[in-house]
Homo-oligomer: A and B are copies of this chain.
Amino acid sequence: MLLTFGETMALFVARRTGPLRFARDFDLGVGGAESNVAIGVTRLGGRATWIGRVGADEFGDLVRTTLLGEGVETVAIPDEEAPTGLMIKGRRTADLIDVRYYRSGSAGSRIGPGDLDAELIRSAKVLHVSAITPALSPSAREAVRHAVALARSAGVMVSLDVNYRRKLWSPSQAGEWLRGIVDQVDVIFATEEEAALITDEPEKLPVPHVVLKFGAKGALERSGGVTRFAEPYRVTEVDPVGAGDAFAAGWLAEWMAGGDADRRLRTACAAGAFAVTSQGDWESLPRRADLALLEPGAGDVSR
């Protein structure tokens, strides 16, 4: 079982491209980096548990029912004192995503070590955290520190996705926190820019499995001194948000299933490709049977 925790928000998505104030119509859904990963692992046949705080409100119920529905073991702690956070997503142009948050002081940001069941963490096969959580609040940062320490002591694999968010903290703040935790991590997911937050020499990162993502140019994994590259899948991009979460989910699901490095990277790239080919942060994540759909020839009309 993969255990993860963090903030999942209600998500308003604009239906039209252009400045947000002209969007007029919005769809309602949910999104959160860690729950996206939990859903992704579940789709690929793994078990996943997500822990988080939500408001005692309709949007908190939406987060809970959505994750439960997707088969994630969901610990959505209702917080009577604070509302569920909001994310509002649009496109300034066809090529530029525009994301706004209403998450300051949200229920999700109030997570703390006391919300994490130590037995759950110890019983997990993987603990997955993102570097969004430590940027939310001091208690959230402490929750990450606490969970990683528990996992390390119990021999649970620790996975970290850098997921840098410049609206939450500065590069130097993020870099400092990352440098403080990186040597407790078993696998790290990062883009080249994110790796540079930690070190000028990413090839020397003290992490057993370093996975670097190059977007439409593929990805690499460096494990045990060996570096493997994976070619990207060629797909028509509809919505890039969630691709990194999908990628991590693909890698981790295969790691949990005992897949070798080539298979991990290949599934990671496939999951990332699915994520961008349709709308929503996680809705399009693949089941095992879907992975074949990206192979050549699958694009025929399936009548």
Q: Which residues of B contact A166 (CB under 8 A)?
A: 302-303
- Asked if A21 contacts B301 (CB within 8 A), the reply is no
Chain B CB within 8 A of A235 CB: yes
With A21-B59, A290-B92: A301-B86 Cβ-Cβ less than 8 Å: no
B residues less than 8 Å from A95 (CB atoms) = 235-236, 277, 299
Contact partners of A104 in chain B: CB under 8 A? 105
- Chain B proximity of A273: nearest CB distance (Å): 8
Beyond A28-B23, A102-B102, A303-B167, whether A93 also contacts B280 by CB under 8 A is no
CB distance from A281 to the nearest CB of B (A): 11
Which residues does chain B contribute within 8 Å of A240, judged by CB atoms? 301
State the CA gap A210–B234 with chains docked (Å): 34
CB-CB under 8 A from A303, the residues of chain B are 97, 99, 165-167, 241
* Shortest Cβ distance from A240 into B: residue: B301
Q: Is the CB of B65 within 8 A of A21?
A: yes
Residue tally, chain A, CB below 8 Å to B: 64
Cross-interface CB contact of A278 among B16, B66, B237, cutoff 8 Å: B16
Residues of B within 8 A of A167 (CB): 302-303
Within 8 A of B (CB), among A132-181: 165-167
Partner of A62, one of B21, B26, B83: B21
**How far is it, in angstroms, between the C-alpha of A23 and the C-alpha of B284 when the chains are bound?**
11
Question: What separation, in Å, do the CA atoms of A303 and B9 have in the docked complex?
Answer: 14
B93, A241: Cβ atoms closer than 8 Å: no
Q: Is A12 interfacial (CB-CB < 8 Å)?
A: yes
Q: Does A218 contact B (CB under 8 A)?
A: no
A93 & B274 in contact (Cβ 8 Å cutoff): yes
Residues of B contacting A62 in the complex (Cβ-Cβ under 8 angstroms): 21
Task: Knowing A93-B235, A95-B236, say if A16 contacts B279 (CB, 8 Å).
Answer: yes
User: Closest residue of chain B to A92, judged by CB?
Assistant: B293
A239 CB to closest chain B CB (Å) equals 9
Determine if B18 and A283 form an interchain contact, defined as CB atoms under 8 angstroms apart: yes
Enumerate chain B residues within 8 angstroms of A86, measured Cβ to Cβ. 86, 102
A69 close to B (CB within 8 Å): yes
Mask: chain A, 35-74; 1 = CB below 8 Å from B; 0 = not: 0000000000000000000000111011011101111000
User: CB within 8 Å of B: which residues of A?
Assistant: 12, 16-28, 57-59, 61-62, 64-66, 68-71, 83, 86, 91-100, 102, 104-105, 165-167, 235-238, 240-241, 274, 277-280, 283-284, 290, 293, 298-299, 301-303
- The 8 lowest CB-CB distance pairs between A and B, nearest first, are A69-B69, A18-B278, A93-B277, A65-B69, A94-B236, A21-B62, A20-B58, A17-B278
| 20 contacts across the A-B interface (CB closer than 8 A) | A12-B12, A18-B280, A19-B58, A19-B278, A25-B27, A26-B27, A57-B100, A65-B69, A65-B71, A92-B284, A94-B237, A94-B238, A94-B277, A95-B236, A96-B298, A99-B303, A104-B105, A166-B302, A167-B303, A240-B301
